[in-house]
Amino acid sequence: MPAPWVKFRVFINILQELNGPSLRNPQFSDYIRLLSAAGLWGSSFLLNEIALADFAPVAVASYRIIIATVVVCLVCYAKRLTTVLDRRTLQLFLAIGLLNSVVPFSLIGWGQLRIDSSTTAILLATSPFVTLLMSHYMTTDDRFSWQKLTGLLFGFAGVLVLLGQGFMQGEGSVGGMLAVVLAAACYSLSSLLIRRLGTQPSLVIVAGTLLASCVVVVPVLLIFFPPWQQAYHAPTLSALLFLSVGPTAVAYVLRAQIVQLNGAVFMSNVGYLIPLFAVLWGWLFLRQQPSVVLWLALGLILMGVALGQRRANR
């Protein structure tokens, strides 16, 4: 009987062999994609906050997925894109769909009933740290180092600052923060799984994962939040529609492209840019004044990415 450590190493080797083709160094166009995705996702917290005035968190997540699915599938049909749906591909579509849409959308919506959009965005900046830890075992592209560990410690220090503030404000705030952190972990794992789909077109990957998500969310929506009983106003409906097309359909296609070309670790850097856009949009449209604690947490997180990326840049 092999020792547990031997079994673990065999399992890790299998995970690493299942990754897609080798990655390329980031180019100017890749940074533009990253910045565009960050800007779109940074607006999602503001749009979520508006939509939650009429829609429940699960309903927001469901409509967001359904509308985005229709948009992406129509584009795939227009471009005549197809794929071979074997058992492994279907399993990956379902797993990515759950981790990339259903679970994190619901967790973020639930969390935003308890914390504001700026805090939500900063807590999602934990995603790069989780991705780096997972990528050490699930890929051969980016391994762990002491310098990256230092960056992780600074980043998590920023998260602990926010969690400490939550403890002083009450248990509800802490619960909302923990829900967002769990959503960030879901995004990290889904990014690593996307590479298992090989060189399939990014539009096909997004369409497949969103369709798999619809299998889960449509029955839930019809049973618990029937559309014919849903009351809404023009601002909340407009926010929901833009949330579905921009931060979901368009941003997810950008994300799939980046993961395929540059890997999950490079894609995870979007987590450091999202808080900057979220704070900017919240300040411009909701008049949310960033607190001193929020800026301190953001500073620690950005210091973490600077230290973690220093070796890669050199």
Please state the rounded mean pLDDT for residues 80-97: 87
**Percent of all residues in the chain with a pLDDT value above 70, rounded to a whole number:** 76
Percentage, residues of the chain above pLDDT 90: 26
The owner of tokens 């969390």 is 111
- The 10s digit of each residue's pLDDT in 146-187 is 666 677 677 677 767 766 766 666 545 788 888 988 998 898
In terms of pLDDT, which residue wins out, 121 or 68? 68
- The segment with the largest mean pLDDT, out of 113-122, 127-136, 281-290, is 113-122
- Class of residue 4 by CB neighbours under 10 A (exposed 0-12, middle 13-18, buried 19+): exposed
Tell me the pLDDT tens digit for each residue of 181-221. 899 889 888 888 887 787 788 899 999 999 999 999 999 99
Is residue 7 predicted with pLDDT exceeding 50?
no
DSSP string, 254-275: HHHHHHHHH-HHHHHTHHHHHH
**pTM of the predicted protein model:** 0.76
CB of 279 within 8 A of CB of 249?
no
Model confidence band, residue 223 (pLDDT cutoffs 50, 70, 90): very high
* pLDDT one-digit tens code per residue, 264-314: 777 777 776 777 777 778 777 767 676 777 778 777 777 776 666 554 444
pLDDT of res. 142: 54
Q: What is the DSSP string of 13-68?
A: HHHHHTS-SPP----HHHHHHHHHHHHHHHHHHHHHHHHTTTS-HHHHHHHHHHHH
pLDDT confidence band for 143 (50 / 70 / 90):
low
Q: Of 255, 233, 197, 182, whose CA–CA distance to 30 is shortest?
A: 255
Per-residue pLDDT band for 8 (boundaries 50, 70, 90) equals very low
**Average pLDDT value for residue range 232-248:** 93
pLDDT at position 66 is: 95
Q: What is the mean pLDDT of the chain?
A: 79
d(CA 111, CA 9): 37
pLDDT at 130 exceeding the cut of 80: no
For the chain, the structural domain boundaries read 30-313
pLDDT at 69 exceeding the cut of 50: yes
